[in-house]
Chains A and B, each alone.
Chain A
């Protein structure tokens, strides 16, 4: 299961870009969440790869923090989405712009 660090980073960038595009282009908040998760995991992947490459353990430690934060964020985010769905009967992000300044 060895791959070169270049390959791993390229893969991370691709996954990250796909995730970012997904967040920008999709209107379904669930899909946007999945995309955000993709971005997180791309970053995690890059961290693991770099840590492996440099022989340092800190990168892998950071990954756990990211996973924990992401989980918390998803919990809060889903709660918000459910609350919006209860009020609005839909979850189109473009239609939810009450919080603009």
Chain B
């Protein structure tokens, strides 16, 4: 029942929070933080007792839910999902901490939504029944919709509409494909089923695989977001409150890449290989163009947002390189991007609270006023551009190598991102931190308070920890990633591998 506990406890926490008096802001924040930390502790407990040598699902829970539709309440974790669950557990306290001062209206509702979001995201990572998966997938949309729509910036209405419509349009395709899959399961096994492990055993003709694959892939690609389906992301990020951005970049984008890694190759192996090349090309375009577009942004948050497009392009590239290194790199990218981009968004928030602007033209020279931030900014920027010693290097190295193994020219083109990545990240660093103080806005900057310092330094420590000991994470996901690849190869080339 551990998974159910992890899955529902945030929602429960949210409900408890709802019972508190709405005026006691400080009390609400403290209780929320405490509960999120306890919850993180439980996820760590799960990680501690997880057996990384097994490739199969662990802590499985399975009950019939809607038997006539073949829907089951079925949960389980493997090496890939467990890491993402812990990431989700980790980032929620940060989301609460970074809203300590920034959110001063409807504080209770805000925290309830954050908890609801956490539950929904956990559900996506745990569900072994695709019906359940879909419910959580859609459920994760709503809290974010409100987080941006209620506490967002000036153009929040536009941003939320774009975000929701983009995602819904994609999910609808996925829903259709899921229903089709359930009927295929009925044809082949005799009863309707949304069970992932059943679906994996189905033999689907290539003709059908193509459409089903594309439907799944498009839905997931919107969420990742893969170029050219990314334009909702910068708008959503720019309008979102800091906590929203942290969670959006930190965990919501991972829903897409997680789904791709989990479903696309294993359910539709032949179609996956068929579409490998075009997808890889889209990833390359996204990675390079995304990085190029960061260079010319003048909005602090937009720069970070576009860098997400570039990084997630690399992540999908790793997944679709279909080799162990590339996919391991992709898993690491999901986690590391959560840490480094999460930290960058925290920094954007820290600045925005002080300057009330994100226009980089007025920034510059902040390091003079904020030496502590200067100290912490650097490792975060380095992580984002993949400098060795930070976690970003490991995943970049693995993904690029995976891409190179797929086809050398892909590796060469993708490696261009390490130059562009350095260019935009150093440009950002310089425009914000270095140079003379340019504007009166920057004169009144105060350095990090202890709350901000704690947040950033924990992230920086993790950045170094996973950069120096990447095996901490790699060893946990290796068996599962390997298993997924094996399944795919067996499906795609039944004669090649016994």
Find out whether A and B make contact in their complex, taking CB atoms under 8 A apart as touching.
no
B interface residues (Cβ-Cβ under 8 A, vs A): none
